[in-house]
Structure formats: C-alpha cells, structure tokens
Amino acid sequence: AKRGGGNQVAWFRSGMEQELTIRSELESGIRAAIPRGEIVPYFEPQVNLRDRKLTGFEVLARWEHPARGLVTPDQFIKIAEESGLIGELSLSLMRQAFTAARDWSGDLTLSVNISPWQLRDAWFAQKIIRLLTETGFPAQRLEIEITESALFDNLALAQSTLNSLKHQGVGIVLDDFGTGFSSLAHLRALPFDRIKIDRSFVASMNDHPDSAALVNAIARMGDSLNLPVIAEGVENEVLENRLRAIGIARAQGWVYGKPLSIAGARRMLAERRML
C-alpha cells in the first residue's frame, strides 16, 4: 500500500508538471498572440430597455487562434493576469476597439472590462488617456467596467485613478454587482456612473420569481443613489419584460444579440443606418 501511495505521489507530481507545461505554453502563446493581433475585440450590443434602442457595446476579448479557432476569455484572461500580460493585452484590445468605433455614429459607447491588476498600475489612467488621444476616440464615449475585487487591495489608488478618468469624461461602471462584498461602502467611496447587475441574478429570475424582488431592490437602490442600472444576460423576452417593469434602464444579452466581430458590428450598424 505504501509503495502504491508513493507511486500515486509521483503520478500526481508529473500531473502537476504537465499542467505547468501546458500553462507555460499557454502563457508564451498569449505573449506571442498580442503583437500578432490575434486577440481581438468582440462587441455585445447594449440597449435602452424602454425602446430597445442601441446605446453601445460591451467590448469582450476573443482569441482568434490559428489552430483552435475562436477562444473565449475564460481560457486566457486569468493566465494573462497572472503572468503580467493583462495590461498589454487590454491596451491592444482597446486600441483596436477605439480605432474601429471612432467613426460609428452618434454617441454609441464602448464599455471595456478592466482587470483588478490594471488598477494597481499607477500609470493606468495616463495610459488610457494617451490611447484616447492617439486613436481620436472621445472619452465621453468610453466606459470602464470594474469589479469590486479590484478595489480591495488599494482603495486610495483606485480612487485617484477612477477620479482622474472621470474628470476626462470616462464613465465608471461597477460590474458583476451583487457578487462581491461590502458593495454599499464602495458605492459611496467611488465615482460610479452605473451599476451592472450580474447575469446570475437575471438568470435566476427565470426559476425563482422571488428573485425579482432582489433585482427590484437593486433597482430602487440605484434610483435613490442616482445610479442607472444595466442588466446583463437577458436571454429572452420574458426576462426583458420583467426587467422593464422593474424600471431597469439598460440591458444586454442574447435577446439583443451575441458578441459580434468588428465586421459583424459594422454590418449591424449599416443595416440600422448607424455607420
């Protein structure tokens, strides 16, 4: 039995080593993919819930892998964060998205996901502002989405970064609301313009009509703090109607459209005469 155990440990080790190899291959893959332009922005439509009018898009990372096809962010964002590549990845993604969307009509916004790791960079605000200048994309049309976990390790730095971006006209969205801790304290301490209710709450409205009460409470809190609420993961019209009745301002989800490539977004805008 003892020898068996020993073998098991050895097997386990080699399993871990294998995992490390896969990881480091993935890491060098990401490192090479960024300058090659393989990590590209996809655009998920966001609408005004009252009239379904398009207000803009959430920018979502996709890896156009030459062998594996279109890879979703759950396969590479975490490793990009842990290997210090997320800042570079994000700037490359934003550069492509800003350049593409610069000439899209009117006041369509882009809402970009920002990793907690990026908020630890004291130069983050300057990098964004420089990129806006460089690409000619107006700050007023940019929103950044941050999660509460981003605020824990250095609230003072996050505050000063978000305040200087807001000063330039960039909107600040609290993402995945309801999944973190001490949300209420953060809502007061930081210059948010909008909160986004996490998909898990919206989805559970299907099975538990009671959880509509929770979404309703978030909406009323938003009302009293003057923070418009956006709901994500709206997959059907039943959910859409419930959210509209609750008074949620904006929504995104499959009922409005899945994330589109740059070409796909352009086609959609052309059909709507919004190019």
Q: Applying CB under 6 A, which of residues 128, 148, 231, 232 lies at the interface with ligand C2E? A: 232
Q: Which listed option, Ca ion, ligand C2E, none, makes contact with residue 73 (CB within 5 to 8 Å by class)?
A: ligand C2E
Q: Which of residues 196-225 bind Ca ion (CB under 5 A)?
A: 198-199
Gap between the Cα atoms of 29 and 42, Å rounded: 20
Instruction: Report the distance separating Cα 109 and Cα 69, nearest Å.
Output: 28
Residue 225 phi/psi, 5-degree rounding, is -95, 5
Rounded Cα distance between 69 and 8, Å, is 36
Hey, which residues between 125 and 154 contact Ca ion (CB under 5 A)?
Answer: 145
Of 158, 84, 94, 163, nearest to 122 by C-alpha is 158
Q: Which two tokens stand for residue 185?
A: 């304290």
Among 116, 175, 186, 231, binds Ca ion (CB under 5 A): 175
93 belongs to the binding site for ligand C2E (CB under 6 A): yes
Say which residues have a Cβ less than 8 Å from residue 272's Cβ, sequence separation at least 6: 54
Q: Which is nearer to ligand C2E, 212 or 234 (CB)?
A: 234
CB-nearer residue toward ligand C2E: 3 or 108 = 108
Contact 255, 51 (CB under 8 A): no
- Nearest CB to ligand C2E, comparing residues 88 and 189: 88
Q: Work out which of 38, 199, 204, 262 binds ligand C2E, going by CB under 6 A.
A: 199
Please, which residue, 144 or 212, has the CB nearer to Ca ion? 144
Residues making contact with Ca ion (CB under 5 A): 113, 145, 175-176, 198-199
